Chains A and B, each alone.
Chain A
Amino acid sequence: MNLVIAFVMVPFAGMLLIPFLKVNAKGIMTFALLLINALLSGYFAIQSLLGEAMIFTLPGSYITGLIPIRIDALSGWFMLIINLIFVTGGFYALFYMKAYREQRNNLTLHSISFLIQHAAMISICVIQNSLAFLIAWEIMAIASFLVIIFDHEHIATIKAGINYLIQAHFSILFLMLGFIWVASKTGSYDFQAITSYTASIPGSASLMLFIFFFIGFAIKAGFVPFHTWLPYAHPAAPSHVSGIMSGVIIKIGIFGILRMLLVVKTDFISVGYIILLISTISGLYGVMLAIVQHNLKKLLAYHSIENIGIIGMGIGLGCVGVGTGNQVLATLGFAGALLHTLNHALFKSLLFYAAGNVYQATHTMDIERLGGIIKKMPQTAFLFLIAAIAICGIPPFNGFVSEFIIYTGFYKWLSDTTLVSLIAAIFAIMGLVLIGGLALLCFTKAFGVVFLGTERSPLPDSCREVPFLQLLPMYLLAAIIILIGLFPIAFINLLGKPVSLLTGTIALPLDAFQLNAFSALQPISRASWLLVLLIAGIYAIRKFALSHRKIETGTTWGCGYIAPTSKIQYTAGSFVRTYSKLFAPFLLIGKHEEEVHGIFPAEAKYHTHPYDKLEKWLIDSPLKMDKLFMGRFVFLNNGKLQMYILYGVLFILAVMSIPILYQTMQSFIEFLNHL
């Protein structure tokens, strides 16, 4: 109990201390406080993950009622992920933010928001009182907004921030509607009231309630079509924040959905199919748009949507498993989803940090202007490569393990009996395979164009490897990526509790988790080892064989042309040109072309601007209509104070007249009835 209070006090201490410190000390203090909070909550998380769930009750207030804090295994798993990413991100930020040391006040705000954001996210994982939950949710939204707009001198950053803020409040709106619905019926804000309430109402109503919650959390998670804030916010934020956003903030949406699956009693089969459909679309749409992006961070942001899709596919499968009483499906689905949540947090934050290093060195994120960075920043390139392979779900790294579990789940689903589930399974498999293949195209492009070849535009002289301490958190993430790939069993065992919580089997002992469906993980681990040893062995042989041979260097073969320039290289645009022609119906690519004319042609130009088709349909067009409609009333906004006071008076009158009107209406209806 005291520890809980200590946890809340730490950000306050930060607020009081950080403004008065020197620039260097600000960063160190922030990190120290973050570490304290991470250790505190990490202690609870590990307790709940390995031992028993913990329950505290805060007194709350007259309005909220008691605030129960329940730390179960699901909270524990997400708390550990949040802590891991925040600590590595905070450490990385110590060095990344050095470039901004002039902006002292800005850094103060940023540091404090960063601490509050962490505290709010941890609170979201444990608070089980809907009013308090919403407050924590709101604090997180605002704190995230503040950390995103660090670089607020750029108009694009502010725009992205406000876009995020508005959409975050749409998410809150849906959550609020859901919570009010339950509270108005039961009079309690406790999550347990939701469980008892939904158990008592018909299935369609509880499904409706679940969909409210789902939309609310899906906006945060970035499921298509609620994803449009994500590709703006990620690139606008500083890189450590992008890593954290992609790594954990969108995962809090996943956490919310899983939490609601636990508290809302509804028809799991329909929920499963709905989530599966949305997730498959999210996965495909995310990666399809990721491929055509020119901005490295935007590319990674779209990729987050894809991975949220993969996680969602696992959740959908799990729900179907729970609904049909198929333990194997449920276990595989949820285990895959939860493991992929961790995996994605690891490799995506690593990718963003690596992108941050590149940005720091080159001051651009336009991949068409980069190239050949591997020679200037070999370690960053190496780390990016590991994460890129992992994110494509390729062995021997962690992405393969979680995708393999989800694949196994879908193939197990094929032994189901109903036609619908068989067809759903085969199309889900097809979706997952396509996602994998497209991810490969996307990351060979990203890595190949940014790091390999020669520089496409002159890089600044300052382009060199970042200091080792900045690389240290990245190496840590990479090490975990490799560990999960090589020892998946250890991590799957950690997942025993949260998964059994979701699948509904009470107190499934850990070793029972080695059930038939998971028997493949042992050989996967062995195969990964074998692969690593094989590569090492062949490389050693090669090294030995080449030690006696002549090794020369020459120019790249250019079909006899001996004066190649870097402009001859394949660009990112041309690398995916065939793809973008094939997928044209799904993409929206603006082109700007100036062809060559005449005998002595001047400069020719070719620009493409990828845009999001769904954003155009769902956000831009309605907004345009809205503006058109609202434009009619612009005369009201005439800038005269007297008029504004009049509006106020009119509004108050209108509010006051509602009961009178209501009574009149009622008596009128009664009168009609009498007739």
Chain B
Amino acid sequence: MLSVLLIVIAAIFFTGIIIRTKSLASGRKGPGILQPVRDVVRLFRKGVVYSETTSFVFQIAPTIYFASVVMAMLVVPFGQSRGVLSFNGDFIFFAYVLALGKFFSIIAAMDTGSSFEGMGASREALYSMFAEPAFFILMGSLALLSGHTSFQEIFSALHIGSQISYALAALATFVLLMIAMIESSRMPIDDPKTHLELTMIHEVMILDNSGFDLGLIFTAGYLKFAIYGALIVNLFIGVIPYEYAIPSFFAIQFALAVAIGIIESFMARFRMSHNPQFIVALTSVSLLIFFGVLLILQKFM
């Protein structure tokens, strides 16, 4: 339960901090940190406009997308405390329930009959497919290292001690961070602030959503960030008592948000055609982690 509470709190501020960082980096004052939340609240109060091309799929998709992200959130643990749902292989459920949301957001985009949204849908399907192996191999490596197969057991059994394990932790953080970026459609894969529909991925898929539905999609996006942030935090806090773990949770989430803001301020998005290569490289990094784990366990003898 604790993890859900923490993730929700982190989600409230996360996107605001990114936007604030970007404003400061570009020399503007920028909106308040709570502005994204205010936007969502306003959206929840608005009416909706549906395209006449769309069907029931378009109407139910944001709900399912949001529900899938909430379900994924329920699985994530916090250090010693389990997630609301915790069982052997829960990370498989985590990835697949997110895939449910993705499935619906893709077909909802196809439902509008717009060429732009079809383009976004195609990219989303392709990129998320490439990102998944990295996640599964990473979890496989951690499962091998810790001898467990659920999020909470894996994370609480991780001991970062030797030099190799420092390197592995750094790589794992990198992989998780990049997966978070891909899943939440941020730089360097996707640029949420681009003005041209042709170069968007996630933003273009939701062009026709409005009102309550758009609010749900935004909220799900904020939550997704905090969920992946929480996973990264979990890599490190393992057995640390709560009085240190909770502040470090927020510290790491804050650092993450600032880092994303800075990356997005000073970096350009990759060329679309280079994205798959980059994402496949991520799989290689996770394989590297796997072989590192084999090294630690001295399997090469």
Contact = CB atoms under 8 A, between A and B. Distances in A.
B212 A545 contact: yes
Interface string A411-426: 1101101010010011
Contacts of B125: 440-441, 444-445
B276 interface: yes
A454 B53 contact: yes
A523 interface: yes
A404 B93 contact: yes
Nearest to B97: A395
A193 B213 CA distance: 66
A414 B140 contact: yes
Contact of B137 (A430, A447, A535, A582): A430
A413 B94 CA distance: 20
Contact of B99 (A394, A414, A564, A577): A394
B113 A436 contact: no
A546 B129 CA distance: 34
Q: Which of B93, B116, B207 has its CB near the most chain A CB atoms (within 10 A)? A: B93
Interface string B81-101: 000011111101100110110
B210 to A, nearest CB: 9
The majority secondary structure among interface residues of chain A is helix
B111 A452 contact: yes
A539 B92 contact: no
B121 A444 contact: yes
A523 B87 CA distance: 7
A437 B51 contact: no
B55 A430 contact: no
Interface string B131-175: 011001100110110010100000000000000000000000000
A438 interface: yes
A422 B63 contact: no
Interface stretch (A463-471, A553-561, A639-647): A553-561
B113 A569 contact: yes
B169 to A, nearest CB: 19
B300 A411 contact: no
B115 interface: yes
B47 A549 contact: yes
A586 interface: no
B136 A395 contact: no
A371 B207 CA distance: 20
B103 A552 contact: no
Contacts of B300: 419
B133 A433 contact: yes
A557 B212 contact: no
A66 interface: no
B132 A452 contact: no
Nearest to A407: B92
B107 A378 contact: no
Q: How large is the interface on B (under 10, 10 to 19, 20 to 34, 35 or more residues)?
A: 35 or more
B70 A534 contact: yes
B170 to A, nearest CB: 20
A395 B85 contact: no
Contacts of A400: 96
B144 to A, nearest CB: 5
A566 interface: yes
A453 B276 contact: no
Contacts of A425: 140
Given A444-B110, A549-B46, A526 B137 contact: no
A569 B89 contact: no
Contact of A426 (B52, B126, B137): B137
B143 A578 contact: no
A551 B126 contact: no
A549 B50 CA distance: 13
Interface stretch (A385-393, A500-508, A657-665): A385-393
A371 B111 CA distance: 10
A449 interface: yes
Nearest to B64: A535
Given A408-B89, A440-B129, A535-B64, A394 B103 contact: yes
A430 to B, nearest CB: 5
A597 B133 CA distance: 45
A32 B46 CA distance: 57
A375 interface: yes
B16 to A, nearest CB: 24
Given A438-B129, A557-B207, A568-B115, A394 B100 contact: yes
A530 B74 contact: yes
B15 interface: no
A570 interface: yes
Interface string B30-65: 000000000000001111111111111100100110
B137 A452 contact: no
A557 B114 contact: yes
A611 interface: no
10 contacts: A372-B53, A408-B149, A417-B299, A437-B133, A440-B103, A448-B118, A452-B111, A520-B89, A570-B117, A577-B122
The 7 closest A-B pairs by CB, nearest first: A570-B118, A437-B129, A448-B110, A550-B47, A453-B113, A523-B87, A549-B47
Interface of B: 44-57, 60, 63-64, 66-68, 70-71, 74, 85-90, 92-93, 96-97, 99-100, 102-103, 106-107, 110-119, 121-123, 125-126, 128-130, 132-133, 136-137, 140-141, 143-144, 147, 149, 197, 207-208, 211-213, 216, 273, 276, 283, 287, 290, 294, 299-300
Given A444-B110, A556-B117, 9 more contacts: A372-B53, A378-B56, A448-B111, A527-B97, A538-B67, A551-B48, A554-B51, A569-B115, A570-B110
